[in-house]
Amino acid sequence: MDLGRRLAGLWNAAAKEAGGPDRLTEILSRLALFFSGGWILALTFFDWIRSAFFVDLGLTVAILVAFALGIVNVGTAVQTWIPARRLAPLVPLSIVYFTVVHYWLFVSLVPFYGTDGLAFSHYSAILLLQGQNPYAVSQAPALELFRIPEFYVTPKETGGLVTSQTYPALSFLIYVPVVAAGATDMRIVSLAGHGLAILVAYRVTPQPFKAFAPLTLAFPDQLDFTPGSVQDILWVAPLLLSVSTLHRRRFSGCLYGIACSIKQMPWLLAPFLFVDLWKRDGTKFPSSAGLWNFAAFAAGTFLLINGPFILWDPGPWTAGVLDPLFGDNIPLGPGLSILTQGAWLLAPKAFYSATMVSVIIALLALEFIDYPNARRALYWFPGVVMFFAYRNLQNYFVYWYPFVFLALATWLREQYQGSGHAEVP
């Protein structure tokens, strides 16, 4: 008996022991309320310590309400008047609220961008409003304009810094209306994206684990990244919607195209998603209309957004968006390349590239050969691949959590519903 079957057996036994799926939802909702409450209390405590709440009445009230929500969530886990599953929406709402409070405090303490990426995207929006091509103009002035500290730039191994736009076009197009409206801090867009992603994660994750889904976007690093100017949270909501609507291939493809137009990270999912759709459709060759509808609408949406810049000047656009893959940026992050960062391992970048490619091929083969089991791990494959990359920044990993959790929740739901009943993400 393989591990998957054993887990399924355990799960069914647990559901039966608990008194059925509804009863299990009730139990897990209570657990989610308890853990979210404790989590919010802990994080609010740390924010209270580092805040100057005593000079800001608004912040004082905000912290007070966050702490009260933590108290309420823990309390609702053990109250018996109202079924916990009815109170479960408190989890996403309180997590969204705390995300806003944490953002507010962080931004007041760090009133500048913490990444060159957001500085470049903001500057690109300004350039575009002035009629200039952001891919063809140096982004170097953005570093001074947005007061980016020296630690947070991207050095190149060949000398100098990255001073070009290296993300797909929606990474800055999304800021154009915000800049045009007169806003000066684009981190607010990430905050909106973070709130939306939490609500979407809650919406698309099936019972009985639904109430836990918001917690997958409330780890301390994720909470700091939004006001800390990491933009990846922006692709989470469209990609979550995409993978949860794979039964509507055109719609899902459009959403995938949107996610891929924000940053390159969702691109990594493409080969695995391709095999997944092929296998779902059950054709001998990848020839189903659904598969190609998805691919066509994803590519079409991507080209709709990026096409104008490709036509404007294809060279700089191509060099820009491929820079994270083929540029000569220094190794960084706590993945395998930490061995090269300390120069313990005399390995060139080509070693990491070759390893990454072989891991992608192996995972694809694994998915192809043992699809029924491997498909559950599909959304963590990008994380596994990035572990072997030359750069393994934390944001390459943490935004896959809601997807992995969605796959886990869907898998376990299928176990007691019977295979094929639930929508597989």
Residues that bind another protein (CB under 8 A): 2, 110-112, 147-152, 155, 157-159, 330, 332, 340-351, 354-355, 358-359, 361-362, 365-366, 369-370, 388
- Residue 343 CB, nearest approach to another protein (Å): 4
Q: Is 147 left (phi over 0), alpha (psi -120 to 50) or beta?
A: left
Cα–Cα distance measured from residue 293 to residue 249, given in angstroms and rounded to the nearest whole number: 6
For the chain, state the CA radius of gyration: 23
Q: How many residues does the chain have?
A: 425
- 93 CB-near residues (< 8 Å, 6+ apart): none
Q: Rounded to the nearest whole angstrom, what is the least distance from the CB of residue 362 to another protein in the complex?
A: 5
Task: With beta carbons less than 8 A apart as the criterion, state whether 109 and 59 touch.
Answer: no
Nearer to another protein, 100 or 110 (CB): 110
Q: How far is the CB of 272 from another protein (least distance, A)?
A: 14
Q: Which of 281, 292, 297, 300 is nearest to 242 (CA)?
A: 297
Residue 109 to residue 104: CA distance in whole angstroms: 9
Q: How far, in Å, CA of 204 to CA of 410, rounded?
A: 10
**Using an 8 Å Cβ cutoff, are 28 and 413 in contact?**
no
- Reference 219, options 95, 104, 46, 100; nearest CA is 95
Paired with 332 in beta bridges are 391
Phi-psi region of 205 (alpha: psi -120 to 50; beta: other; left: phi over 0): beta
Please, which residue, 154 or 216, has the CB nearer to another protein? Answer: 154
Smallest distance, another protein to C-beta of residue 17, A? 28
Contact 166, 155 (CB under 8 A): no
Shortest reach from residue 148's CB to another protein, in Å: 8
Nearer to another protein among residue 83 and residue 149 (C-beta): 149
- Which structure tokens are listed for 268? 């990594």
Cβ distance to another protein smaller for residue 3 or 181: 3
CB 36 within 8 A of CB 220: no
Nearer to another protein, 20 or 160 (CB): 160
Least spacing, CB of residue 108 vs another protein, in Å: 11
Report the nearest approach of another protein to the CB of residue 330 (Å): 7
Question: Which residue, 148 or 295, is less far from another protein as judged by CB?
Answer: 148
Q: Give residues with Cβ within 8 angstroms of 365, minimum separation 6.
A: none
Query: What are the distances in angstroms from CA 152 to CA 56, 158, 180, 209?
Result: 29, 18, 27, 38
CB of 18 to another protein, least distance (A): 30
Q: Which is nearer to another protein, 206 or 383 (CB)?
A: 383
Shortest spacing between CB 38 and another protein, in angstroms: 29
**Minimum gap (Å) between residue 346 Cβ and another protein:** 5
Residue 327 Cβ vs another protein, minimum distance, rounded to whole Å: 13
Q: What is d(CA 233, CA 311) in angstroms, rounded to the nearest whole number?
A: 28
- Please answer whether residues 126 and 159 qualify as being in contact, where contact means their C-beta atoms are separated by less than 8 angstroms: no
Closest CA to 337 of 389, 269, 279: 389
> Which C-beta is closer to another protein: that of 112 or that of 292?
112
Residue closer to another protein, measured from CB, 244 or 337: 337
Q: Nearer Cβ to another protein, position 38 or 155?
A: 155
Smaller CB distance to another protein: residue 146 or 256? Answer: 146
Long-range pairs of 284-293 with CB within 8 A, sequence gap ≥ 24: 290/249, 291/249, 293/249, 293/250, 293/253
Rounded Cα gap, residues 400 and 269, in angstroms: 10
